[in-house]
Structures are given as C-alpha cells and as structure tokens.
Chains A and B, each alone.
Chain A
Amino acid sequence: MYRDKYFFLLPGLVVLIAIIIFPLLFTIRVSFSSWDVFQPGLDYIGGRNFARVFEDTRFWESLLRLSVLSVSSVLLQYVIGFALALAVWREIRFRRFFRVLFLVPMMTTPVVMSVIWRTIFHESLGPANDILQAIGLGTVPWLSTGTAAFISVLIVEVWQWTPFMFLLLLAGLVSLPREPYLAAAIDGAGPIRTFLQVTFPLMAPITIGAIIIRLIEASKIMETVYVMTSGGPGTATETSSYYIYIRGLRDFQIGYSAALSLTYLVIMIVSLTIIAKVLARMLLPREG
C-alpha cells in the first residue's frame, strides 16, 4: 500500500539523475573511449586512457603545483582572515564599514579582477612595479618568470578569498559564548593566553569547516590562471583543472580528458577526506 510513495520521490530522483548521476556515468563511459576531434564516438579502448594518465608527467606536475598553491593559499587566507576577524570582532570604530570593505574582493567577478590584477602586475605599465621602483626595490618580472608568476597567482587567490575566510571566522567568533572569556579574565590570562587557550580551541570546528570548504574551492582554481598567465610561462602556473581544460576543450581529446577528470576526482575525494580527518584529529577534542 505504500508503493505510491516512490512516485513522490520521482521528481527529486529525476533531477538528481539528470544533473549528477548521468554526467558522472557518461564521463566514466567516455573515459574508456578514444573520442577525440578526429574520431568522435563511443568506441571502447579499455584502460589505455588511464595508462596514459599515469605516464603523463605534465598532469602529475600540475597536480603537485595545485596542491602547493591551494594549501599555501588557504593557510595564508586562514591566518590573514582570522587576524582580520579578530580585529573587527571587538568594538572598534567604523566596524561595520570595515566588515563591508573586507567583503568587496569576494563579490567581484573572478575574470574581471584577474584582468585588473594582470594590469597591476604588468611589468612596464602596471602600478606594482611603479611602486616597487619608487621605494627603490627595483622591478619584479611578475608574470614572465615561473616563480614570480606562481606567487602572483597566489597573491590574487589570497586577495580574493581571504574575505570568505574572514566572514566564516567572524561568524564563528560572534557566536562564541561569553563565559570562557570572563573566566579567563578572572584567572588572569593575558590576550595571548586567552587566544591560545580559549578562542582557538573554541573555534576549532569552524576552522576545520572553513579550511575544508576553501580547499575544495581552491583546488578548482581556473579563471585566475586562465586570465593572468594562461598556465605560463611554460607550465609554471598550470593547475590540474587548467590542464584538463587544455586537453579537453583546446585539443578536444574528450576521452583522455574524461580519464584525467576521473583520476583528479578520485584523488581529490581521497585527499580531502584524509585532510579533514587529520584536521579533526589535530584540532577537535575527542569525547569519551
């Protein structure tokens, strides 16, 4: 008599299948084909695409680069975001103004702000080098040497996403209970002890959440690289998603890029799960 209930699940299931299950299954199917610009079609070539992935050093290098970029940018975002949140947490003048100001980078379109940053970092026309020259530090080849280009991308990432971190951490700070702070004041703890023993432990769950959310987002970095450096110079700033984009939508090796995407997806799921577990073990007290 309850069989009717499945009927009511149908709309949700159809949407789920259409937007998640089907594309995923289709990608898996495509990854076993040699679909490319010359021979579009779903043939079957076994695991050859995946064998190629394992030998593709350019992919693994881009993955390593992505790990360094996302981990370091997220850590920087966390530190700066936390510092800013602590700064505007307490009563200070123009608090509301600062809160809004800090959120501006997050609200701008990534492509637009990447263009702006590319202009800022322009070696002969950009203000970054003008300023460095004015204070006598000489010019930096921002986008034309590997390391500098990598750092430029890092700066833009941090600039754009620190506000998000700031917002999450500020929301966390505002919701903290008052008593532990009163108790710490009575116990005679100074600001540093109070931060280490009260604020930081209380913020641990929010810290984990914020870092994981940002890591997931940061590992998808694409627009910044595309607009600022196009992965260059050489492959110095090429990240996984950008490399997959090149293979799939520039070279039209659909089958191979599907295999790359799946490999990337599995690696991401595994590594982010591990990171979340490790963070939780490090920061969260275990009950019982």
Chain B
Amino acid sequence: MARIELVNVAHSYDGGKEYALKPLNMVWEDGRTYALLGPSGCGKTTMLNIISGLLKPSEGRLLFDGVDVTDSNTAGRNIAQVFQFPVIYSTMTVAQNLAFPLVCRGYPDHEIRRRVDNVAGLLGLSDKMQMPARRLTADLKQLVSMGRGLVREDVSAILLDEPLTVIDPQMKFELRRKLKQINREFGITMVFVTHDQNEAMTFAEEVVVMKDGEIMQRGSPQDLFERPDNTFVGYFIGSPPMNFLDARLEGGTLVCEGLGYHAPVQGVPAGARMQLGFRPEFVVLDGNGADIRTRARVEHVDNLGVEAVITLSLSDGQIVRAKQQGRFRAIAGENLGLGVRAENLQIYCNGQRLG
C-alpha cells in the first residue's frame, strides 16, 4: 500500500516529437479507487504502464510513499496489473496460476497455500482450483488474472487496464462489486482504466478524465456529471452528452435567444466563444419550476424503456436533448415548454467553465 505521486511526469514514444503523456503532476492517495477515463489513445495505458514500471517515463519522477522509484523495475515496485485480455499460464492449473507470483518471489509453501486459498475464496474460484486454467471461460480467466495480483497482500496498488472488456454485461456488474469489496477489505489502491463512463462512474471514488495526454478534469463522479470543467468532459460523460448552446455577448450581457437567456457576465475576453451547458437530465419539460424558460419544437422521441430521450429544436434552430424517466408521448412538430434551473446551467468560455 502506498501513496503514488507523479512529479512532472511526461512520456513520448518518439523522442519528444509528440507526447503521449504531457507533463503532469498527480497524486494517487492510498486506499482509494480511481478511474482513468478517456477516448482511445488519450494516454491512459501509458500512464498506467509508467506507474507499473513497464514503461520508463521520458521525463519526471515517480514517488511511492515519497521514495523515488522511477528507475526501479516492475518487480521492485510491487504493483499488480490486470490487462484488457486475460493472461493465464496455460500449462498450469488455477491454483498454480494464483500461486505463481508467490512462487516467483520464493514464499514458503504453507504461506502460498494460505494466501491462494484466501484469494480463491474471495473470488469464488475455490471449486475450480485443480482445473487447467486454459479451460476456464474468459470471465473466469480474468478473475484468475486479478487473483494473481491479489495474492500479494502487500501490493502497493492494483492497476486495471480495461479489465472488463471481455466480460459479459451481467458478470461485469458482479466483478465490479467484487473489486470494490476487495478495495474495502484490503485497502488497496485501485486504478481502473476504462473508456466506458458507466464503469468509471460506478466504480471509482474519483474519476480522472484524459484527452490527448492531458488531464481534463479530476473529481468525484458527481462533480464530473454536474459541473464539467470543460466542454470535452461534458460531451464525454453522460449519454446523451451535455447540451451546449451557442450564446452571444452583447456589452456585458450574455444572450441566448433560443433559450430566452439574458444575464450579465464578467471577466470574459472579447471575441471569446461563449456556450451555455446543461445536462439532458436537468431539462424540465413544461418548464415548471425552472428559472429559464422557453418553448421548443419536438423533433423526435427515442423511448429507451426506462427512460426517453427527446430531441427538441429551439426558435433559433439550436438542438436540445432532454432525458425523462419512463415513456414519453409527444408528436413530432408539437410545441412544448422547456426550462432549466439556473444552478444546473454552466457557462463556458472557449470551452472552459466560468466560475
């Protein structure tokens, strides 16, 4: 268990021409669960491999509990990592697979047996211990891969690189629950890389959103949902993404005619691109109880079972999506009231949130 600190860490695969990871400072606190979220190629895996020691950063230092480990190898850092595709040793049984990291480290037999039994019980693999690992299904193989990280009770952190990609949706839920349980029981720091926002939001206490090798926002799932720092996070998190409406500066007033919005705004450079952002979940149809109200035309309705997504066009042609619980009945072309509460409305200047 350790507090992991990245100091000015940056990495480039081509000797500085292009950075896969731009210089950043970051701290992973001991015992918390983190999710690294971002589109493919945003540097998530690079960051993970730097922490685990599979990759040496081209710049910066890495501290575990204040000790510089930048130059020590993977084994020296005592990190467990689980990969996107399950990795098992095909010639061994499940029990031998789980024991392998301990065997490599020369633990005594009785200690190996105790820990392996312990982890097998936790992961529900006890009745499959003597089976050849290659005969397991993909999700059980992935459990074994995780188990190999967990048998080392003293690991500093478990890094999970999209570990649930190959798992069935029902199993995913179960595995996430197990991971959280392990985190609570052992207090092991977990960093979970994913491009699935639901996975990130449900798993982690803290979510880090990355794009092009930079951290876009870091915060609790709720923060990211309610107050995205920038339009990228707004787009990336949430389904459908956040509504962004173009607005105009008139003197010191921000105007969005379609939404019927007029409000004074300060500290905005002239010529900046202004946008109003609000979540589809926060749109109030009928406009009752909303501070900002207008009327909009229904374009189409997607009923998704437990919820419905309604696409509306405003008087200035801009599109707004609203998300409602249950089924929603409306005819395309119908005019509806539409409103947003002021506290749910964020103002973005050149893509960054104001205030």
Binding site for B on A (CB under 8 A): 177, 179-180, 182-183, 185-190, 193, 197-198, 201-202, 285, 287-288
Contacts and interface: CB of A to CB of B under 8 A. Distances in A.
A185 B87 contact: no
Interface in B36-64: 52, 54
Contact of A288 (B74, B104, B105, B135): B135
Nearest to B78: A188
B75 A183 contact: no
Nearest to B84: A179
Contact of B74 (A186, A197, A287): A186
B100 interface: yes
15 contacts: A177-B85, A179-B85, A183-B81, A183-B145, A183-B148, A185-B74, A186-B52, A193-B104, A197-B92, A201-B91, A202-B90, A285-B90, A285-B91, A285-B132, A287-B135
Interface of B: 52, 54, 73-75, 79-81, 83-85, 87, 89-92, 100-101, 104-105, 132, 134-135, 145, 148-149
Contact of B101 (A179, A182, A187, A201): A187
A189 B105 CA distance: 8
B89 A201 contact: yes
Contact of A183 (B73, B83, B132): B83
A198 B79 contact: no
A285 B104 contact: no
Chain A at the B interface: mostly helix, strand, loop or mixed?
A: helix
B135 A188 contact: no
A189 B104 contact: yes
The 10 closest A-B pairs by CB, nearest first: A183-B87, A188-B104, A187-B101, A188-B75, A179-B83, A285-B134, A185-B74, A197-B89, A186-B81, A201-B91
Contacts of A182: 54, 81, 83, 87
Contacts of B91: 197, 201, 285
A193 B99 CA distance: 14
Nearest to A183: B87
Contacts of A177: 85
Contacts of A197: 89, 91-92, 100
Contact of A188 (B90, B105, B132): B105
A181 B149 CA distance: 15
A187 B100 contact: yes
B128 to A, nearest CB: 15
B148 A187 contact: yes
A186 B80 contact: yes
A185 B54 contact: yes
A189 B54 contact: no
Nearest to B105: A188
B104 A187 contact: yes
Given A186-B74, A188-B101, A179 B135 contact: no
Nearest to B100: A187
Contacts of B148: 183, 187
A260 B296 CA distance: 93
A197 B101 CA distance: 12
A188 B103 CA distance: 9
Contacts of B145: 183
Nearest to B75: A188
Contacts of A180: 87
Contacts of B75: 185-186, 188
B171 to A, nearest CB: 20
A288 B136 CA distance: 9
Contacts of A287: 134-135
Given A182-B81, A183-B145, A201-B89, 6 more contacts: A179-B83, A183-B87, A186-B52, A187-B101, A197-B91, A285-B134
Contacts of A188: 74-75, 101, 104-105
Contacts of A179: 83-85, 87
Interface centre among B54, B79, B85, B89, by most chain A C-beta atoms within 10 angstroms, is: B89
Contact of B89 (A186, A198, A288): A198
A201 B88 CA distance: 11
A141 to B, nearest CB: 46
Contacts of A285: 90-91, 132, 134
B353 to A, nearest CB: 38
A197 B132 CA distance: 14
A143 B105 CA distance: 53
B141 to A, nearest CB: 12
Contacts of A186: 52, 54, 74-75, 79-81, 101, 149
B159 to A, nearest CB: 9
Contacts of A202: 90
A201 B90 contact: yes
A134 B81 CA distance: 57
A251 B83 CA distance: 67
